[in-house]
């Protein structure tokens, strides 16, 4: 289990990937220059720019996916009825009236409750090498649509990326990385979200670089080297802390239509609200 302090640790591993390859004498798939479509970048330097400053081009692509989601339908508003005594109102408060209180009328007011609560979303980025960049983008768009819908209604989601794999021969041992991106209450800008949630280089260059910094015995056991699998994707192993929920390995990587994206975004919103102790928004319609 590897708990990083921030995404900055992953960026540092990416920056030092060439030296690490030379020191370990093991091939590094994170440094490949012959698979642009697979990793979404021509070089590690290009991926480093995206990790540091966000994916500007991805902003437009992410917005295109989000634009096909009916965001205003994702989060149900919860009416809260509040009452107060006043000179005029909807009904008489008998007790106040009998005591001669001048403010003896009950005035009811309805407000929309958003609770202002915060949750942490964990997203397991583990996936097969066969998953295309288009499928990663579709899931990223659905996740960001859910984040935006919740933010519009006063909720705040933090984001921690997870990568969980077991060793090549699929015995018990495995390695899991947790990479905090933003904490609840902090602002997740769309360029950073685009790289972490929707760009293949997050996993195939960034996380791979982390794996290539493991000791050689772990790299051999797990297959963390060029020409091997870099571990088999598995579900998150660690327990979630309170007020957190998980988008686990493989979830949302099979979205083929706009309605698929809408349904998955709704699932993320519902999971958030259930984490905070509320019923799913989809139950309110």
For 176-201, the pLDDT digits (tens) are: 999 999 999 888 888 999 999 999 99
- CA gap 132, 135 in Å, rounded: 5
Q: What is the pLDDT of residue 172?
A: 54
pTM score, whole prediction: 0.84
What average pLDDT does the segment 91-108 reach?
Answer: 77
Q: Where are the domains of the chain?
A: 2-74+116-284, 79-113
Q: What is the pLDDT of residue 114?
A: 46
Q: What is the pLDDT of residue 266?
A: 95
Q: Which residue has the higher pLDDT, 59 or 39?
A: 39
Strand intervals (E) in the chain: 2-3, 78-86, 91-92, 105-113, 118-124, 156-166, 174-182, 232-233, 244-247
**Angle value at C-alpha 41, between 38 and 43, nearest 5 degrees:** 115
What average pLDDT does the segment 224-236 reach?
Answer: 94
pLDDT cut 70: percent of the chain above it: 89
DSSP 17: H
Dihedral sign for Cα 54, 57, 61, 67, please. Answer: positive
Pairing of strands 174-182, 2-3: parallel
Pairing of strands 105-113, 156-166: unpaired
Q: What is the pLDDT of residue 94?
A: 80
Q: What is the pLDDT of residues 63-73, one digit of tens each?
A: 888 888 888 77
């Amino acid at each position: 289990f590897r708990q990083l302090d921030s995404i900055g640790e992953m960026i540092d591993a990416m920056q030092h990937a060439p030296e690490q390859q030379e020191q370990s004498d093991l091939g590094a798939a994170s440094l490949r220059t012959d698979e642009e479509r697979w990793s979404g970048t021509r070089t590690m330097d290009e991926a480093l720019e995206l990790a540091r400053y966000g994916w500007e081009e991805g902003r437009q692509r992410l917005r295109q996916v989000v634009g096909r989601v009916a965001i205003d339908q994702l989060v149900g508003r919860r009416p809260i009825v509040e009452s107060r005594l006043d000179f005029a109102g909807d009904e008489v408060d008998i007790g106040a009236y009998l005591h001669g209180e001048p403010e003896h009328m009950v005035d009811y007011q309805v407000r929309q409750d958003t609770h202002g609560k915060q949750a942490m979303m964990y997203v397991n980025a583990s996936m097969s090498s066969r998953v295309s960049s288009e499928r990663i983008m579709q899931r990223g768009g659905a996740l960001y649509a859910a984040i935006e819908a919740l933010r519009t209604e006063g909720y705040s989601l933090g984001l921690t990326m997870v990568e969980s794999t077991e060793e090549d021969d699929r015995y018990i041992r495995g390695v899991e990385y947790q990479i905090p991106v933003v904490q609840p209450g902090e602002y997740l800008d769309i360029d950073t979200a685009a790289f972490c949630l929707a760009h293949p280089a997050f996993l195939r260059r960034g996380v791979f670089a982390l794996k290539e910094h493991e000791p050689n015995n772990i790299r051999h056991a797990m297959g963390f080297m060029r020409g091997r699998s870099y571990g088999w994707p598995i579900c998150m192993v660690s327990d979630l802390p309170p007020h957190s929920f998980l988008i686990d390995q493989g979830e949302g990587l099979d979205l083929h239509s706009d309605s698929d994206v809408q349904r998955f975004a709704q699932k993320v919103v519902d999971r958030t609200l259930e984490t905070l102790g509320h019923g799913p928004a989809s139950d309110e319609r």
